[in-house]
Structure 1
């Protein structure tokens, strides 16, 4: 079967080259995986710091590196709550935990289970129904309903199976968040997989040993063919599946990417989900298990793809796609009607019979046109497409690094939000926990620590300084140590906080020196403003920024990004009075229009780096009576607000510009600034207060 004519080998090699060019190669797969795992690690470090007893796992195509830009894969996050303990044997019961017994009997669909509530004080079944999410069955067992997921839906989110789907901004990932409960033991229904080996002893012993050690999860969704779907929970072996995908070779990954492109282009038109990408992955794994490893090479990619499509066709014909690890779980059970089945079967057959022509018509990532060019179907010089290096530089790693940088800012928002009204000793405890990741962490934790720690160091130093400034206008040496330790968080934000500390104590010369150096650094590098407050992508990215993302590791983020400057309530004495107003932007009516978690930054003073730099320069030069430089700083502030497309807190920049205009005795321009600010953000905007103050002052003066 696998002895192919030369044209098939040539087609395979050309296909492999095309996939290499759009980022499906060893280098990019590994860099995608590292980026996703870094974000996962930062999220879990945050959980440890704020004592959240949960772990987040980034799963799916993004974490596997089995995607391209054109596939628009979302990020799948499995959020595991360790307050719960799912057991399969009474010996696994734990005191004080929310214990549930996994039940699989004649009433549950294979691959699914019921969860029976147990007592937390002793290993016995619970007898009381605590809420509407529970029901007592005919045997008197208190069963947990999977409808609990409805309690976690926010505005703009929708339930999609066991997950909560949230659409990302253009340039950022869409997100599927799956809530899960952990089971430390491997599912009994999958015990046979631990002893199963296909051709060439795959999956390997190491994979199966890892699987046995990771246990499984249960997620809140029932089978489509269940008689009581609201009581069923799906058994998930996601970590084992991720491990298996990490052990695939590049040809197997390319085959999977092609399957998903075919799925999206020909089998699931108009975003209908008849066959899922997980089914394609399952088909691929069965094919790998049942073939020799030597088959999966670049010069045989076309044959491997055909083999997978034939297997997928067989699954559709038989209405059966067996889960790779729990084979009794039929992924296609109740999935489509007889009419849809007939249409899918026909479409797969048509593709196999005309596969070369069909491959040439794939629009995703312009794969079809690229393949035509490789096969000399298009004359050279016509319909030129960027090379692999250009694709990487302009798209893939830039996209990845922007998401990492946004994640750094977002994690700090979560941590700062949890610090609200906490005393300095609690914050010091957080830093102690953080340092353990530097001293005892693995490589990923070391890398995540280096990205997360500086901003926390700066905030702690600023809080110490604020406390002292409030008493005696002095900055204690300990505060300066922490502020200095955080200076390399990014190109500007921590330096600007240090300058603001010196400004608040009246040390204008030191503040001016820091600002001058920061401005030089800002314009010596291709700096991109980053803000996790609103989780929006940048509007414009320079070619030099893209080149550095492609050539360097994630550490380069510190030298080419400028985070927004955040002052929490505990830093108020380090904040210029004009910016302090931002901490009190929300009226009682405004609070109704805020999200408790996403909008936590609205209780702080938050401003983009560059406007804050020029604002501080304006204030300092005014104090030093260097009027020409003061006006230059004001002009730069105005120009930045007018021309910088990447500002995320433009309303705040306009508010501080308005106050500068008031100090310049230009009330009409000040009013214009405040009105423009309200156009940016109508609610939760302190511009309303500034307008009232300004008009009141004008009335009094008249």
Structure 2
């Protein structure tokens, strides 16, 4: 796993790089919007082009409250909504307008206000999302159809899932989570997650007649912190289960997602002593994870880790035939023990490759990826007030020089090993190595 780029050092380096890039991006927006990288990139568990980029854009100056009595603690400049969870599926809410308006009266908010069936002012998730549909990305991007709360777009070979969200203060929900009896996470992490609060994103429950008015409650920053506190074995279980879903089950409509797998691993970590998760028990816990996945598919039931009343499999669209095929496939994997790993393409390729050559190449990929991430951050730092980067910056020149040296080494090694490659092309080899 370390050789494939999932070791703790590279994982932490990725996390740090994406946090720094988010900080720099947010600073350029003068506090109106905060960007947070989420998903596998924030976890540090995928290479630069190995998966989509998941970004959450938090619209500042707006707060959603679980309890209206907390409104006096907020700045008078804050635009305030209250959470109405009583009429929605678990983990969802409507946002009712509180009878005061902040100075930061966003046009996106104004355009998304409407009346509910009782004549109250309410913020429509569908209209809010529509108002932001053209607010992100340069003009040359390819925009895709809405996917849940996301406004996806593509820029060359890279796909971005962009979610606009609002801050949410829901201490009762978080305290119910914090007070559970558990083996993990430790008390300091529990406290930290509670202080991070929550967010609401513009998507309703699929089975609701009023989903265009509903918002989903999430804990992205808290979940990022939870993933960082997993030990190496738990992280490897998560990676292997994700590979199994992506490369073996191959869901076509996200009936099962990486988020499903993440919740399975979080429940395993909470319900079992940490000391039992070690290198020698990896296969045992992989089998346990597969068993939990099989049960979730069979029963169409998996409790959301932060709000257990919410069933992540509800309305997933899984038909009986697909359910039967996946249950049988997972059962076969569980019975194969060690051979289960050889079903996974990346593991199988690593097993069959020449170990010294594989280790050399993966070290080059890791170094190149880190340099590329540094160049992204430095590019942000070198931009002027018009958004134009200074290409003559000495640090940027040094980073690019090292990247070119690595790609030349790889090009030379490939030709020496009999893999004839065209004349040296920096960008072509760079994309090849980062894809």
Name the TM tier (shorter chain). Answer: 0.7 to 0.9
1:585-639 deviations in Å (ceiling 9; x for gaps) = xxxxxxxxxxxxxxxxxxxxxxxxxxxxxxxxxxxxxxxxxxxxxxxxxxxxxxx
Task: Provide the rounded CA distance (Å) in 1 between the counterparts of 2:333 and 2:217.
Answer: 34
SS state of the match for residue 234, structure 1? strand
Whether 2:115 is the aligned partner of 1:136: answer: yes
- Equivalent residue for 1:7? none
- The unaligned stretches of length 5 or more in structure 1 are 1-18, 123-129, 374-382, 420-451, 459-485, 493-520, 530-539, 547-641, 648-702
Task: Provide the rounded CA distance (Å) in 1 between the counterparts of 2:403 and 2:281.
Answer: 44
Q: Pairwise mapping of residues 319-398 of structure 1 onto structure 2 (< 5 A)?
A: 319-335=300-316, 336-363=318-345, 365=346, 367-371=347-351, 373=352, 383-386=353-356, 389-398=359-368
Q: Pairwise mapping of residues 642-681 of structure 1 onto structure 2 (< 5 A)?
A: none
Match 1:145 to one of 114, 124, 127: 124
1:426-448 deviations in Å (ceiling 9; x for gaps) = xxxxxxxxxxxxxxxxxxxxxxx
Distance change >3 Å, CA 544–CA 151, structure 1 → 2: same
The offset of 1:112, in angstroms, is: 0.7
Whether 2:90 is the aligned partner of 1:110: answer: yes
Task: Flag as ranges the 4+ runs of structure 1 deviating above 6 A.
Answer: none
Match 2:385 to one of 409, 416, 421: 416
Whether 2:149 is the aligned partner of 1:162: answer: yes
SS state of the match for residue 55, structure 1? strand
Task: Provide the rounded CA distance (Å) in 1 between the counterparts of 2:245 and 2:84.
Answer: 35
Task: Provide the rounded CA distance (Å) in 1 between the counterparts of 2:349 and 2:359.
Answer: 18
Whether 2:289 is the aligned partner of 1:308: answer: yes
Match 2:269 to one of 281, 288, 297: 288
- Equivalent residue for 2:180? 196
Distance change >3 Å, CA 156–CA 411, structure 1 → 2: farther
- Equivalent residue for 1:81? 59
CA contact (8 A) 2:54 2:161 kept: yes
- Equivalent residue for 1:476? none
RMSD (Å) for aligned C-alpha atoms: 3.4
CA contact (8 A) 1:251 1:298 kept: yes
Distance change >3 Å, CA 387–CA 360, structure 1 → 2: same
SS state of the match for residue 140, structure 1? coil
The offset of 1:240, in angstroms, is: 0.9
1:313-350 deviations in Å (ceiling 9; x for gaps) = 11222211111011111111010233332232222212
Task: Provide the rounded CA distance (Å) in 1 between the counterparts of 2:195 and 2:209.
Answer: 33
Whether 2:397 is the aligned partner of 1:491: answer: yes
Match 1:543 to one of 409, 412, 416: 409
Task: Provide the rounded CA distance (Å) in 2 between the counterparts of 1:168 and 1:102.
Answer: 36
CA contact (8 A) 1:197 1:203 kept: no
The offset of 1:263, in angstroms, is: 0.4
Distance change >3 Å, CA 237–CA 643, structure 1 → 2: closer
Match 1:406 to one of 367, 371, 376: 376
Distance change >3 Å, CA 314–CA 541, structure 1 → 2: same
The offset of 1:412, in angstroms, is: 4.8
SS state of the match for residue 224, structure 1? coil
Distance change >3 Å, CA 542–CA 285, structure 1 → 2: same
Task: Provide the rounded CA distance (Å) in 1 between the counterparts of 2:327 and 2:424.
Answer: 55
- Equivalent residue for 2:224? 242
Distance change >3 Å, CA 227–CA 36, structure 1 → 2: same
The offset of 1:131, in angstroms, is: 5.8
The offset of 1:69, in angstroms, is: 7.1
Distance change >3 Å, CA 34–CA 542, structure 1 → 2: farther
Q: Pairwise mapping of residues 50-129 of structure 1 onto structure 2 (< 5 A)?
A: 51-67=30-46, 72-93=50-71, 94-105=75-86, 107-121=87-101
1:61-118 deviations in Å (ceiling 9; x for gaps) = 1121223578x2222111111121212222333423222111110x201001101123
SS state of the match for residue 229, structure 1? coil
1:5-63 deviations in Å (ceiling 9; x for gaps) = xxxxxxxxxxxxxx12111212221222222222122223323xxx2322111111112
- The unaligned stretches of length 5 or more in structure 2 are 103-108, 135-140, 413-422, 429-435
Instruction: Name which one, 1 or 2, has greater alpha-carbon Rg.
Output: 1
CA contact (8 A) 1:186 1:214 kept: no
SS state of the match for residue 313, structure 2? coil
- Equivalent residue for 1:616? none
The offset of 1:407, in angstroms, is: 4.2
Distance change >3 Å, CA 213–CA 342, structure 1 → 2: same
CA contact (8 A) 1:222 1:234 kept: yes
- Equivalent residue for 2:23? 41
CA contact (8 A) 1:146 1:233 kept: yes
SS state of the match for residue 116, structure 1? strand
CA contact (8 A) 1:218 1:233 kept: yes
Question: Which of the two has greater helix per residue?
Answer: 1
CA contact (8 A) 2:64 2:167 kept: yes
